[in-house]
């Protein structure tokens, strides 16, 4: 029963890529309940426990509310002015003396879920002018961005399954029942998958664990971790071998078909079968099913990116979509059309400059820049290694690489060697404890919300905006304001600069560049707004559904979105090729030279490599989100979840028992984790969730520290990367396991 004194607010959940619309009940300035917003045009009432946990996050006493400065090794609460004065005192001299590359910027995952951070961190990066840019992308999706850039011409031209009209889904290395989708915004995947099956469709999952998604699929095949490249080569080979290639409507827009056929010629299903752990006949059958399906899509995600052949795998997934005529077709893998901020649609339709990598290289390891970033696994050595260009200062924004990146203890030691570190974060945690100044973010309920990235990855086109649920305390800066202050400081304008004027100048500059002679009129049209809201309004109005500042009165603008708390549905996905292509050739590049070179050099040589007896992979859990939600009571309660899953055969062979601790060793690195015996595992594979390990001295995460769990990344030395994308290898790493006695 609704309480008459309660009010209702609506808010898009900022935790994961599903972007669910939530309904909050409020009373006396407090949240009384959070549920799914049934009327939401996109998520239709879906919610998971992490959405409901926003109440605990808002109320968490450990969540930072005041800036902190480290004095004599201890953090003390200070005013905002003191915090920025300290940054101004310490950061600009480092830049002046050692150059811009002496500062690094490290961006973490929640940035993409926070409009203020998302719109202003690129401006901070530009103002800093450093080539030392690192983010969670090189622990995650960089291979997919690179393969998409090479094939379609833009890093963000990433197709997603049109699940509502599909009748066959092949899913590799993703567990959307738990993760709720990634590079695919699809709230209630389970419900949509059930509907697909109810209309006679089929889902096949390839995963070394019978994951929650595999358990509800029509078929599940175990695969040896890290060997998807062989399976996919076998599938592509079969399509050529059995004359099953059908390019359909895209035939005139495809380049490199012959080169591709030649490149895969040596990888028959029979040759790759043993290497990937699937029978040749199963591989051939899968290729035939995919080719015969009228509306089908192949989708791969985290497990396919965080492996040594991440870019090749990401490429071959879309190669399959193209060769079977399922790319850009209803029910296939399609490109969403975002109402705003669609970087991939900028410029002349049909062709473009394409992408390049390696415009600079990391100083110590020589890793190429990819999409403006260096691999985060290079960060520690860039701080440790003396000489010109050493990183001496670091700004981290919403990232916890001490837990989320390989070899966190090495990184932690390196962070202590910095001359200066600032963190913009909501917790004093494993990473931010190394900072000299921490600028607290807000509660998500105190910020407006608009998803910058996810409308271009959504299962349906849509536009939604949320106002702030609560007003921020008057002395607390919004995160975009904190970033503007940092921009002012690194630009030499000073900590006390007028950031409102700075914001005006930045936006006016953009508008002048894009709108030319109309710039003044455009600025006038949004003159009552500032900060993120002004940029959202500008982008919506100039976007593909926009009102063009009055020229198309029926079009979208921010005021209309504000008047539609359930969001605005913009219809099912529609074909976008060839217009969306931005390759120099104006074609879909099926056989980019960089990928064919890599294919020749590595997997070919690796086919006969002896296989390790035991390897480790990661996993995700419904009540956990990367490394930062373990402090919330509603999520932390219940059974201990950071367990190492092992197959009964392996357990027996190694003398392991459920509930007991085991020592997991990889090279010189070791951790201890609680064993859970499970026949969901492929024999020879161990699965441990990532993001745990909250036993580090100096963090302030009271609840999380009660059951810290083991840190999967502490097993890895950080040296393993996909050389093309710079992405870390987090899957398929050999380990040894023994009971702790
Ligand atoms: N072994 C292994 N490692 C992995 C993965 C894996 O599967 N296996 N997954 C990888 C993936 S996909 C990712 S994306 C990364 C994630 O790694 P990171 O990007 O480092 O993200 P988190 O570890 O979740 O840390 C998020 C940080 O943001 C802070 N934060 C949360 N909300 C806000 C906010 O609103 N504002 C601000 N300013 N800060 C906020 C949190 O306190 C925390 O410090 O981990 C990667 N690491
Ligand atoms: N509840 C919850 N949801 C989340 C997150 C979270 O931490 N918790 N994190 C969010 C983030 S940042 C991301 S990037 C997404 C990721 O979302 P997903 O891409 O769905 O990633 P995971 O859930 O980690 O599932 C990866 C699967 O790959 C399998 N795998 C491992 N190695 C291999 C391999 O070599 N080959 C194949 N074929 N499979 C392999 C693993 O067993 C696992 O089942 O989830 C997001 N959603
Ligand atoms: S699935 Fe859960 S965490 Fe993700 S957006 Fe929806 S409610 Fe939030
Ligand atoms: Mo991620």
- Ligand 2 centroid to 142 CA: how many Å? 15
Q: How far is the CA of 689 from the centre of ligand 2 (A)?
A: 10
For ligand 1, what atom is nearest to the CA of residue 431?
44
732 CB less than 6 Å from ligand 1? Answer: no
Q: Is the CB of 624 under 6 A from ligand 2?
A: yes
287-313 confidence digits (pLDDT tens): 999 999 999 999 999 999 999 999 999
Query: Would the CB of 662 count as within 6 Å of ligand 1?
Result: no
Distance 7 CA to ligand 3 centre (A): 22
Residue nearest to atom 2 of ligand 3 (CA): 48
Distance 741 CA to ligand 4 centre (A): 36
Q: If you average pLDDT over residues 493-520, what whole number do you get? A: 93
- The pLDDT tens digits for 420-479 are 999 999 999 999 999 999 999 999 999 999 999 999 999 999 999 999 999 999 889 999
Report the pocket of ligand 3 as residue ranges, CB < 6 Å: 13, 15-16, 18-20, 47-48, 50-51, 180, 187
In 119-158, DSSP assigns E strands to 133-135
pLDDT of residue 607: 87
Q: Is residue 1 scored above 80 in pLDDT?
A: no
Q: Of 17, 110, 438, which is best to mutate to test ligand 1, by the most ligand atoms within 8 angstroms of its C-beta?
A: 110
400 pocket-lining for ligand 1 (C-beta < 6 Å): yes
User: What is the predicted pLDDT for the residue at 2?
Assistant: 59
Pocket test for ligand 3, best of 47, 57, 110, 212 (most atoms within 8 A of CB): 47
CA of 402 to the centre of ligand 1 (A): 10
Range scoring the smallest mean pLDDT among 14-18, 343-347, 369-373, 546-550: 343-347
Residue with tokens 């917003």: 37
CA distances from 503 to 21, 155, 500, 509, 540 (A): 29, 27, 5, 10, 19
Query: 459 with 161: CB under 8 angstroms?
Result: yes
- pTM greater than 0.95 (yes/no): yes
Output the six-digit token pair for 708: 């810290």
Task: Work out the average pLDDT over 411-423.
Answer: 98
Measured in angstroms, how far is the CA atom of residue 713 from the centroid of ligand 4? 14
Spell out the residues 6+ positions from residue 58 whose beta carbon is closer than 8 angstroms to its own.
Answer: 31, 443, 444, 445, 470
Cα–Cα distance, 477 to 490 (Å, whole number): 18
Q: Which ligand is nearest to the CA of 712?
A: 1
Ligand 1 neighbourhood includes 626 CB (under 6 angstroms): yes
Q: Is 57 in the pocket of ligand 1 (CB under 6 A)?
A: no
Give the ligand 3 atom nearest the CA of 50. 3
Expressed in angstroms and rounded, the spacing between residue 574 Cα and the centre of ligand 4 is: 27
Asked if residues 305 and 314 have their Cβ atoms less than 8 Å apart, the reply is yes
List of residues 6+ apart from 483 with CB closer than 8 A: 116, 117, 120, 121, 123, 124, 397, 424
Summarize the confidence of residues 385-396 as an average pLDDT: 96
Q: Give the Å distance between the CA of 225 and the centre of ligand 1.
A: 23
> Ligand 3 centroid vs 18 CA: distance in angstroms?
6
Q: For residue 610, is pLDDT > 90?
A: no
Find out whether the beta carbon of 211 lies less than 6 Å from any atom of ligand 2: yes
Mean pLDDT of the chain: 97
**Mean pLDDT, to the nearest integer, of 7-26?**
98
671-686 pLDDT, tens per residue?
A: 999 999 999 999 999 9
Helix axes 310-323, 593-601, angle to 10 degrees: 120
Average pLDDT over residues 526-532: 94
Which of 50, 142, 173 best tests ligand 2's pocket when mutated (most atoms within 8 Å of CB)?
Answer: 173
Cα distance from N-terminal residue to C-terminal residue, the chain: 55
What is the three-class DSSP state of 103? strand
Is the pLDDT reported for residue 561 higher than 60? Answer: yes
The structure tokens listed for 209 are: 């664990």
Percentage of residues in the chain having pLDDT higher than 70: 100
287 alpha carbon to ligand 3 midpoint, in Å? 34
């Amino acid at each position: 029963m609704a309480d008459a004194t309660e009010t209702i607010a609506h808010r898009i959940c900022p935790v994961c890529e599903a972007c669910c619309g939530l309904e909050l009940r409020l009373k006396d300035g407090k949240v009384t309940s959070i549920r799914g917003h049934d009327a939401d045009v996109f998520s239709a009432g879906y919610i998971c426990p992490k959405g409901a946990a926003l109440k605990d996050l808002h109320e968490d006493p450990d969540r930072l509310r005041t800036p902190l400065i480290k004095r004599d090794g201890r953090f003390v609460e200070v005013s905002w002015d003191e915090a920025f004065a300290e940054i101004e005192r310490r950061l600009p001299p480092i830049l002046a003396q050692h150059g811009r590359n002496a500062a690094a910027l490290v961006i973490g995952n929640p940035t993409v879920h926070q409009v203020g951070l998302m719109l202003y961190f690129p401006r901070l990066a530009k103002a800093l002018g450093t080539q030392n840019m690192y983010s969670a992308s090189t622990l995650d999706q960089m291979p997919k961005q690179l393969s998409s850039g090479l094939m379609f011409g833009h890093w963000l031209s990433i197709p997603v399954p049109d699940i509502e009209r599909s009748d066959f889904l092949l899913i590799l290395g993703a567990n959307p029942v738990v993760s709720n989708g990634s590079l695919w915004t699809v709230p209630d995947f389970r419900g949509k998958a059930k509907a697909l099956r109810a209309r006679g469709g089929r889902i096949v999952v390839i995963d070394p664990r019978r994951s929650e998604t595999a358990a509800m699929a029509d078929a599940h095949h175990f695969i040896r971790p890290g060997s998807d490249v062989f399976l996919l080569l076998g599938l592509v080979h079969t399509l050529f071998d059995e004359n099953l290639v059908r390019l359909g409507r895209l035939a005139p827009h495809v380049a490199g078909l012959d080169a591709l056929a030649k490149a895969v010629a040596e990888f028959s299903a029979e040759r790759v079968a043993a290497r990937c752990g699937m029978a040749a006949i199963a591989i051939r059958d899968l290729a035939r099913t995919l080719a015969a399906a009228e509306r089908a899509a192949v989708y791969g995600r985290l497990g396919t990116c965080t492996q040594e052949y991440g870019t090749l795998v990401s490429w071959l997934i879309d190669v399959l979509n193209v060769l079977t005529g399922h790319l850009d077709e209803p029910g296939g893998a399609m490109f969403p059309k975002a109402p705003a901020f669609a970087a991939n649609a900028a410029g002349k339709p049909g062709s473009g400059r394409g992408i390049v990598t390696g415009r600079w290289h990391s100083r110590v390891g020589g890793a190429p820049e990819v999409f403006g970033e260096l691999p985060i696994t290079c960060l520690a050595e860039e701080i440790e290694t003396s000489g010109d260009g050493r990183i001496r200062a670091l700004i981290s924004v919403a990232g916890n690489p001490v837990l989320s990146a390989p070899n966190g203890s090495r990184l932690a030691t390196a962070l202590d060697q910095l001359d200066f570190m600032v963190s913009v974060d909501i917790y004093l945690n494993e990473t931010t404890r190394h900072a000299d100044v921490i600028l607290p973010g807000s509660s998500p309920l105190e910020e407006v919300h608009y998803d910058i990235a996810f409308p271009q990855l959504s299962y349906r086109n849509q536009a939604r905006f949320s106002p702030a649920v609560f007003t921020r305390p008057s002395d607390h800066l919004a995160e975009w304001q904190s970033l503007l202050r940092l921009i002012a400081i690194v630009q030499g304008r000073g900590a006390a600069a007028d950031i409102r004027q700075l914001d005006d100048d930045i936006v006016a500059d953009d508008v002048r560049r894009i709108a030319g002679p109309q710039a003044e009129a455009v600025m006038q049209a949004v003159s009552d707004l500032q900060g993120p809201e002004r940029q959202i309004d500008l982008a919506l109005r100039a976007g593909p559904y926009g009102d063009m500042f009055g020229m198309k009165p029926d079009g979208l603008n921010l005021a209309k979105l504000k008047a539609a708390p359930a969001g605005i549905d913009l219809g099912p996905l529609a074909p976008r090729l060839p217009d969306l292509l931005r390759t120099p050739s104006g074609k879909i590049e099926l056989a980019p030279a960089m990928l064919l070179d890599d294919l020749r050099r590595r997997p070919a040589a690796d086919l006969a490599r002896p296989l390790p007896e035991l390897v480790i992979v990661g996993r995700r859990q419904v009540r956990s989100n990367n490394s930062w939600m373990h402090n919330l009571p509603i999520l932390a309660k219940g059974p201990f979840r950071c367990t190492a899953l092992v197959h009964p055969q392996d357990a027996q062979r190694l003398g392991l028992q459920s509930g007991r601790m085991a020592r997991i060793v990889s090279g010189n690195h070791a951790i201890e984790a609680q064993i859970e015996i499970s026949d969901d595992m492929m024999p020879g594979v161990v699965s441990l969730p990532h993001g745990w390990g909250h036993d580090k001295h100096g963090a302030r995460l009271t609840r999380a520290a009660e059951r810290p769990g083991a840190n999967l990344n502490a097993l890895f030395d950080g040296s393993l990367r996909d050389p093309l994308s710079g992405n870390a290898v987090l899957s398929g790493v050999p380990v040894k396991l023994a009971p702790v006695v």
